[in-house]
């Protein structure tokens, strides 16, 4: 008997913030749901989520496959794969992960995933295609072509019955890479349905006190570009070290500190070592936030944000922050933040980067004024705010065979 809508997630914060509002919506409407957590497979811990009925959440693994989620691109399980990595992934799938997921999903009328390409989601998408069960992909982050991404293995091309996109900007991307237009639906991102910016102000002020910051900081919001194929982990750390020099020169004029927020897969101590060993042209207070610090409280106290190639730039714009995008060596600005005039491009060169940061901070010639462009950019990439969970739920139900 198939009577459940199954949601598979591996990041207990980001994926859960996108998918659980949909789960709660469906449960409230009387539909049976199951949340299948791969968090332990990725080195995280599956939370209790006490508002969900008992038995709704199941863990694929009862223990951590790896102790730390911040392995970076050197991990044999993560990132665009070499042949050896793909062989290892195949062995792990066949030896236990695949059969375990098949058992947990045996009653599913539809399977909802945030990814259909990265391991093990690509393997899962292939398996679902042979089960005659609809697969629904709910976009997990901003989308753009990645280096080394092989055609049929690109995110979005895993055979989903429907791809739920955050906005028309992402819908254009999915159609461009070959997803049939009829399978692409703009639903919005449920993560932002209940966002109240003022609710994060107190937590942000507490962070100012916790880290003894004398003023609102410039935020450096990193992400694992090494996992995405933009160079090695060492290349990424060298880029950060060069940025520190530019930031010191720019921030000295406004007396602001720098606060670094990492992706869960990045190594806090490695960044702190770079801060401790990098010679700066002028003194600069640099804090690398602890792993428990959430993004939204930081955005509530930030003066501006610098990003690399991730969704955090969009989130910073939602909070009204000016955004700068650091150019990636050999690739430039890989998402359309800068190209559409919504963000300041920051070159990977000391003097030019320092000048761009001063513009971002609103000082010196050509001070940043991206307000209108940023607002239009958010509208392009985040549709249906406040109603996204309902839109996603309707799409999922529309794929399910027979009465629910």
pLDDT tens digit sequence for 370-394: 667 999 999 999 999 999 999 999 9
Does 89 or 202 have the greater pLDDT score? 202
Token digits of residue 367: 């001070």
Q: What is the pLDDT of residue 74?
A: 44
Separation of first and last alpha carbons in the chain: 12
Is the predicted pLDDT of residue 283 greater than 90, yes or no? Answer: yes
Cis preceding-peptide flag for 179 (omega within 30 of 0) = no
What would the pLDDT profile of 125-181 be if each residue is shown by its tens digit? Answer: 999 988 889 999 999 999 998 987 776 679 999 999 999 999 999 999 999 999 999
- Considering all CA atoms of the chain, what is the largest pairwise distance in Å, rounded to the nearest integer? 67
- Which helix (H) or strand (E) segment holds residue 287: the answer is strand 286-288
Is the predicted pLDDT of residue 76 greater than 50, yes or no? Answer: no
Domains of the chain are 4-193+385-399 (3.40.50.2000), 198-380 (3.40.50.2000)
Q: What is the pLDDT of residue 303?
A: 97
DSSP 96: I
Q: Is 284 in contact with 257 (CB distance < 8 Å)?
A: yes
CA-wise closest residue to 292 among 309, 324, 268, 256: 268
- CA distances to 220, 300, 318, 360, 370 from 375, in Å: 21, 17, 8, 16, 8
Q: Is 343 in contact with 313 (CB distance < 8 Å)?
A: yes
What is the rounded distance in angstroms from the CA atom of residue 179 to the CA atom of residue 173? Answer: 9
What is the rounded distance in angstroms from the CA atom of residue 190 to the CA atom of residue 212? Answer: 34
Token digits of residue 118: 């990265």
- Residue 99 neighbours by CB distance under 10 Å: 12
């Amino acid at each position: 008997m198939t009577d459940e809508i199954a949601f598979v997630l591996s990041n207990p914060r980001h994926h859960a913030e996108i998918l659980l509002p949909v789960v709660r919506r469906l449960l409230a409407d009387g539909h049976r749901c199951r949340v299948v957590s791969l968090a332990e497979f990725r080195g995280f811990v599956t939370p209790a989520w006490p508002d969900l009925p008992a038995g709704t959440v199941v863990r694929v693994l009862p223990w951590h496959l790896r102790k730390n989620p911040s392995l970076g691109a050197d991990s044999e399980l993560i990132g665009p794969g070499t042949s050896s990595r793909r062989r290892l992934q195949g062995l792990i799938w066949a030896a236990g992960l695949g059969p375990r997921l098949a058992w947990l999903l045996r009653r599913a009328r539809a399977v909802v995933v945030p990814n259909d390409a990265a391991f093990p989601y690509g393997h899962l998408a292939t398996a679902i295609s042979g089960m005659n069960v609809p697969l629904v992909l709910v976009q997990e982050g901003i989308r753009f072509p990645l280096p080394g991404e092989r055609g049929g293995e690109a995110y979005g091309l895993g055979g989903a019955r429907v791809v739920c996109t955050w906005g028309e900007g992402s819908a254009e991307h999915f159609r461009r890479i070959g997803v049939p237009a009829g399978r692409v639906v703009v639903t919005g991102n449920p993560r932002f349905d209940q966002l109240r910016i003022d609710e994060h102000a107190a937590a942000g002020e507490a962070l100012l006190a916790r880290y003894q910051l004398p003023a609102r900081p410039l935020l450096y919001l990193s992400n694992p570009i090494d996992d995405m194929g933009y160079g090695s982990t060492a290349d990424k750390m060298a880029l950060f070290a060069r940025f520190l020099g530019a930031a010191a020169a720019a921030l000295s004029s406004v007396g602001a500190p720098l606060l670094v927020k990492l992706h869960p897969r990045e190594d806090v101590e490695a960044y702190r070592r770079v801060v401790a060993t990098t010679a700066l042209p002028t003194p600069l207070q640099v804090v690398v936030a602890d792993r428990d610090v959430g993004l939204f409280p930081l955005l509530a106290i930030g003066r501006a944000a610098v990003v690399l190639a991730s969704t955090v730039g969009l989130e910073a714009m939602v909070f009204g922050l000016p955004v700068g995008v650091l150019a990636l060596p050999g690739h430039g600005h890989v998402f359309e933040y800068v190209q559409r005039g919504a963000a300041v491009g920051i070159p990977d060169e000391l003097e030019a980067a320092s000048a761009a940061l001063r513009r971002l901070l609103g000082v010196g010639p050509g001070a940043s004024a991206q307000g209108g462009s940023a607002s239009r950019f958010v509208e392009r990439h985040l549709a249906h705010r406040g109603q996204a969970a309902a839109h996603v739920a309707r799409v999922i139900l529309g794929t399910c065979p027979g009465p629910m």
